[in-house]
Structure 1
Amino acid sequence: MEEHQDGKGTMWELDQTLDQPLGDEATQVRGFQNSKEHPLAVTIRLAFISLGVVYGDLATSPLYVFPSVFPDGIVDRRDVLGAVCLIVYSFTLIPLIKYVFIVLRANDNGEGKFRSIVLVLGGTFALYSLICRHAKVNTIPNQHPTDQYLTTYSRRPVPENSRASTIKKLLEGRNSLQKLLLVLVLLGTSMVIGDGVLTPAISVLSSVSGIKVAHPSFHQGHVVILALIILVLLFSMQHVGTDKVGVMFGPVILVWLLSIGAVGVYNIAIHKPDIFRALSPVAGFDFLRRTKSKGWARLGGIVLSITGAEAMFADLGHFSTVSIRLAFTSLVFPCLLAAYLGQASFLLKFPDKVDQTFYRSIPDPVYWPMFVIATVAAIVASQATISATFSIVKQSVALGCFPRVKIIHTSNRILGQIYVPEVNWILMLLCLAITAGFRETTQIGNAYGIAVMAVMLVTTLLMTLIMLFIWQTNLSLVLLFLVTFGSVETIYFSAVLFKIAKGGWVPLAIAAALMLIFYAWHYGTVKRYQFEIQNKVPLAWILGLGPSLGLVRVPGVGFVYTDLAHGVPSMFSHFITHLPAIHSVLVFVCVKYLPVNTVLEDERFLFRRIGPPDYWMYRCTVRYGYRDLHRRDEQFEERLIGALADFIRKDDDNNRVVLSQRRIEHQVVEDQLKFLVAAKESGVVHILGNTVVKARKGSGLAKRIAINHVYSFLRKVCRETSVIYHIPHETMLNVGMIYDV
């Protein structure tokens, strides 16, 4: 064989010629459906619905903020003024300015219309996917040139010799930076999942603990039991979904916000009308100056007033940024400010009643209605967080960072409502353990604060990168954003870290366990993919076997599943080496997820013919966004064969050159379609690789533990590919192989 100077022979050259990117038909893009601005009525309706989905957590914070700020009681009434001052300015700076007016301005379509890209199912992953679209930093390096032609794969051009171009080259050229970026994203994701454990615990426990105000004889043990019962019922009903009851979430939070706002105004008018002097920043600085280290530690309780702000870009549906902003500025912000100022007014008059500030500040005639509303609002807030956790796990699976789990779509009308059984029961057990173990909201609040501030810091860092790289914002504005929010969040984070021994260790332990799972699964997945790349079979060798591939071609359709976007997996050569027959129609299927939220149905399947028509070999890339679901009723097999038939027709249209040959070409296509139908009727077989991944001899201890133990265990307990794609067992064929990585 003739060798080139680069060491690659003509066989390699032939393989590259044969294994070109998917053809022109794969790059055809349907008409782009530009998102139109919502009419006022639709925007108001979306804002109303978003109350229950987005703001439940943030809205229920008044239940437990002041008891967490003053766990040992109030010594000086001036501390109340200082604390509420810091609450007001924190609430204004982080949720309002940072999230509503900056983070939600992530421009996804490059046309000046702000779309809610960061609102789609989990903020950190959405921001990460935005970065992945502009730089080749994907978790699984199976990008394809045709991916960028997707309707939803929009990105801004990067000018040459610009700051953005320099950052792009730096990210793409340094593997260490890509790993650091991924670790940052996974850390934020781990903390968000930790929220899914802590939010139900603190929300439900704080809401039902108010019963002790009306009945002092009701012991804390009874409160904990009541909270545990509600939590068990909440998690046990997750499989039903929120399709039917979800319409009530918005009204519940609306009533809740109006109620606490009204009670706040009442307390201000009755107890301390001059509470508004707390709006002066002097009160906050005086509080920190006088209390010194104690005031610093109390920042860990103040931070609970902004818990749930990150949910503004962890949306579960289709909410525009305008609707999110409208709901927050017109209702959420003023009602919560009134609630906090009202509670502060009450505490200035009754500083000894800080242990149950919320319930003790409620007028007696409306106590029980408020108790019921608070409990229902806490359940709604918990439900939204649990659903967000399911969605984030779904994204993690799509990006190759989490083991495959069963994902059930619970609604035929609303996209994005899913249920993950394994995750649900783990969340329930952890939530019950935390509630029963801590028994008080103060320690749970300490844990909650660490999780929330970690997520916010990660968001700030990712947003800074997006401003520099994608938005190409003025450098001075980027520095202003980073210094302002980074410094404030770092101060708060340092305060909550002081409470590690008092419950703050919980989110760190959860994050450590999740990071181990994330890292081991991603590391093993990448190593397995690299092994397949290095050991893929040259197409030239396959085609050199002739149309029969040196085997008996029996009637039927064989789908060979592979992670490779191009090339033939080594599993296939292993298969044909040990079996004397193969199906008359072969399709190499690569199912992959792209850094976009969804892929349109008419852009889902990309086909390319391998070799001459009489080989009956095709390559198919099935593309999904991280929001797309594999539903049991989607008839994946039927759609795959239907897309292949469409490709055959389209391939015929593209190849018609001479007018006089049209009848002949048409007849050939009809014969091919009849052959495909006959093959399908003879039977369809799905061929999957059942691989065992092991660390090769001589590997380091860390690699052996990650691959041979953690990754191997996760593969044993996770769902198989056949379950994910709903492949019937009677049509499935597993090919066993050992990968030494």
Structure 2
Amino acid sequence: MALTNSGSEAEPVEQSSHPEVEQHSTKVLMLGALGVVYGDIGTSPIYAFREALHASAGGNVADRGDILGVLSLIIWSLTIIVTIKYIMFVLRADNGGEGGVLSLMALARGSFPKRSAAILGIGIVGAALFFGDAVITPAISVLSAVEGMNVVTPTFQPYVVPLTLVILAILFAVQRFGTGGVALIFGPITAVWFLAIGLSGLNHIMDDPEILLAISPHYIVAFLVNSPDVAFVTIGAIFLAVTGAEALYADLGHFGRKPIVLAWLAVVFPCLLLNYAGQGAFVLAHGGTVGHPFFEMNEGWTLIPMVVLATAATVIASQAVISGAFSLTRQAVQLNMLPRLQILHTSEKQSGQIYMPRVNLLLALVVMLLVVGFGESSRLAAAYGISVTGNMLVTTVLLYVIMARIWKWQLWLATSLTALFVFIDIGFFGSNIVKVFEGGWASLAVAFAVVLAMWTWVRGSRYLFDKTRRNEIPLDFLAGNLLKKKPQLVSGTAVFLTSDPMSAPTALMHSLKHYKVLHEQNVILSVVTAQQPVVPDSDRVKMETINDLFMRVTLTFGYMEQPNIPRALAICRKQGWKFDIMTTSFFLSRRSLKASPNSGMPVWQDKLFIGLARTAADATEYFQIPTGRVVEIGTQVAI
């Protein structure tokens, strides 16, 4: 599939003329956003404050300055990274209402065609880092929640990992049924979770009211100056408090900017601040002893319900990341960064609810290996920050392109704001990258594997396209000759799918060579993906008559759409072509690839590309063509 450069700045959505209806729908979307958007960042209090104190204290006892400094860092990280960077700026960089690193990449590429390859490379890195995050989040979230049972009784320790694996196995197993029904309870459960952690923190702030002084950033300065070497390591743990912030942008298309912003300002941000402050006051009141403050400050009968609620919240957070991985993979497939993968739609009403069996299986295997290999959430924490900080750094770089080229900001303003965000992102990334040998290698290994697969697919596809094009006959030349000297004509329409509409498709040449016949009407059909999420029907079809025998048709789909060729061709009736599926045959070329030393790629990359090509879903099924109308012609190509 080819790419068009049709990315453009999205127009603002027209506001509803019924304020009561709009207000009601906003509240519903806010509730949904709590479960999907904020599930990850909402479960960070379980482990973030504890890990940051362990890093700063270098043991199990922290002094007052460390506690106030750590809390102040968390407060200002949430304020600058989430409230200012994402809420105020990143959420405005929507691509036709859609968000996410690949949407941002597509928007940036459309505005900067001279640096298209470089921006594509940045987007691939960002997408790969997201997958690194996607395997760590379910592992650390569920594992840390189940570890809460150790606070109830230490005898539960041997059962933490087995129970975590059981919960994760069930979570990945139910993906095939879709999240439509389950999503109805995601929002309410997460709303209860935020209220519970907010009240839990508020209940303990009075243990030591001095903790409220941590709102002053001078505690950050004192903490960094007094022990810069320890502070550098601590900053990496502090970042655990903002993991999940990238979900605000990734899920923009599902909920819209207003519900996401309101949910953050009205519910999530206040409850997170209260809980972190409560944990700080609790630790101060207990002589700085760092145990498991999140669960320990829920005494008596509230402990077990909090453990159960935490487990439910972490499962929801994991579900959101898994769904995000499905969505990102589909975007990558549509943008020709990965081979076609099987996509199953789990809802008749919502096209965004999809299930990808191979992606689900790979995620499940890697997540469970991480749980078994690391065994404790504290060990996994070291692996968590690298991929998330890297993803945020990629977002900042792409945002700069949007500011300068689409928003048309003055260069000094765009550069100054980007420099601030880059300084913070690099600080967090640097403090996390030193943890490579402590566990950070895990997320980097996943990201590297994804980068290698995407790079190989993009590179191999380009080589394959160039090689086949050199051996093909120009379509206009062939069409002109066939019109002058017509072969035997048969009734009906033949549609030849090709990625190069200017050359004669291989299936057409083989059909002429072996069958010695030509249909009365022949359509050279190519499917392209626009660098925008959805393409309106008015722009879906482009038709060009070559001569009486041939016509060239281009179908354009957005990268968030599932291509449906028969439905798209039905639009051609409005442009004069009386398309009838029952008298139409679709001709597809099925290529058998073989490695060649003259491909321009190393042999190992040749073999990897061929392996990826073999995993591609059947084109007939992917493009939703009726199987009874398809003729496949096999060819062998050395790449």
- TM-score of the aligned structures, taking structure 2 as reference length: 0.92
Contact 2:235 2:431 in 1 (8 A): yes
Q: Does 1:705 align with 2:604?
A: yes
State yes or no: 1:215 paired with 2:153. Answer: yes
Question: Partners in 1 of 2:345 and 2:253 — Cα distance?
Answer: 14
Mapped partners of 2:220, 2:597: distance in 1: 61
Other-structure match for 2:571: 643
Please say if 1:722 is aligned against 2:620: yes
1:610 to partner: Cα distance: 2.1
State the Cα distance separating 1:129 from its structure 2 match.
1.2
The C-alpha deviation readout for 1:637-665, integer Å capped at 9, x for no partner, is 3x35533433326xxxxxxxxxxxxxxxx
Q: Which amino acid aligns with 1:621?
A: T
Out of 305, 324, 328, the position equivalent to 1:369 is 305
Q: Secondary structure at the match of 2:254?
A: coil
Task: Please state how far the C-alpha of 1:119 moved relative to its aligned partner.
Answer: 6.2
Corresponding residue of 2:210? 274
What is the 5 A alignment of 1:635-714? 636-637=565-566, 639=567, 642-648=570-576, 681=582, 683-693=583-593, 697-699=597-599, 702-707=601-606, 709-714=607-612
Q: 1:688 to 1:549 in 2, by over 3 A?
A: farther
Partner of 2:70: 83
**Cα distance in 2 between the residues matched to 1:74 and 1:118:** 51
Match of 2:521 among 582, 585, 593: 585
Spell out the pairing of 1:18-417 with structure 2 (5 A cutoff).
35-38=13-16, 39-71=22-54, 72-106=59-93, 116-117=94-95, 120=98, 123-136=100-113, 172=114, 177-219=115-157, 221-269=158-206, 271-315=207-251, 317-350=253-286, 353-417=289-353
1:470–1:565: structure 2 CA closer, same or farther, 3 Å change rule?
Answer: farther
The 3-state SS of whatever aligns with 2:255 is coil
Aligned pairs for 1:594-613 within 5 A: 594-612=530-548
1:556 has 2:456 as partner: no
Spell out, residue by residue over 1:593-624, the C-alpha distance to the aligned partner (whole angstroms, 9 max, x if none): 11011112343232222203xx2x22221111
- Return the offset for 1:572: 2.5
1:163: which partner in 2?
none
Q: Aligned pair in 2 of structure 1 residues 548, 46: CA closer, same or farther (>3 Å)?
A: farther
What is the DSSP-based 3-state SS (H/G/I as helix, E as strand, rest coil) of the residue aligned with 2:632? Answer: strand
Paired letter, 2:108? I
SS at match of 1:555: strand
Q: Hey, what's the Cα distance between the residues in 2 that align with 1:724 and 1:366?
A: 50
- Per the TM alignment, residue 536 of structure 1 is displaced from its structure 2 partner at its CA by 4.1
How far is the alpha carbon of 1:429 from its aligned partner?
0.5
State the alpha-carbon separation in 2 of the partners of residues 573 and 97 from structure 1.
58
**8 Å CA contact retained: 2:11, 2:96:** no
Match for 1:646: what amino acid?
K
* 1:299-352 per-position Cα deviation (integer Å, ceiling 9, x unaligned): 111000000001011017532212211111111111101111111111112256
Please tell me whether the aligned partners of residues 118 and 126 of structure 1 are also in contact (alpha carbons under 8 angstroms): no
Instruction: Name the stretch that deviates more: 84-93 or 67-76.
Output: 67-76
SS of structure 2 residue aligned to 1:608 = strand
For the residue of structure 2 that corresponds to 1:587, the secondary structure is strand
Distance 1:493 1:135, change over 3 A: closer
Secondary structure of 1:117's counterpart equals coil
> Structure 2: 5+ residue runs without aligned partners?
1-5, 17-21
The one-letter amino acid of 1:647's match is: Q
Deviation at 1:436, TM superposition (A): 1.1
Pair 607,698 (structure 1): closer, same or farther in 2 beyond 3 Å: closer
Deviations 1:245-286 (A, max 9, x none): 2111111111111111111110102x1112111111121121
Partners of 1:584 and 1:255 in 2: how far apart?
A: 65
Change (3 A) 1:481 1:439: same
**Counterparts of 2:39 and 2:408 in 1: how far apart (Å)?**
34
Instruction: Answer whether contact 1:686 1:731 (CA < 8 A) is retained.
Output: yes
- Higher Cα radius of gyration: 1
Deviations 1:447-505 (A, max 9, x none): 11011100010011111121112111122211221221111111111111111111110
Provide the secondary structure at the position in 2 that maps to 1:411: coil
Spell out structure 1 runs of 4+ moving beyond 6 A: none
Deviations 1:40-89 (A, max 9, x none): 33323322221111111011100110232134323423211111111111
1:697 to partner: Cα distance: 5.0
Question: Aligned partner of 1:619: which letter?
Answer: R
Q: Tell me the C-alpha RMSD between the 2 structures.
A: 2.3
- 2:144 partner amino acid: S
Task: Pick closer, same or farther for the CA change 1:728–1:355 going to 2, 3 Å.
Answer: farther
Letter paired with 1:688: L
Unaligned runs of 5+ in 1: 1-26, 107-115, 137-171, 650-672
Change (3 A) 1:540 1:288: closer
TM score, norm. by length of structure 1: 0.80
Q: Which residue of 2 aligns with 1:421?
A: 357
Aligned partners of 1:119 and 1:648: how far apart in 2?
Answer: 33
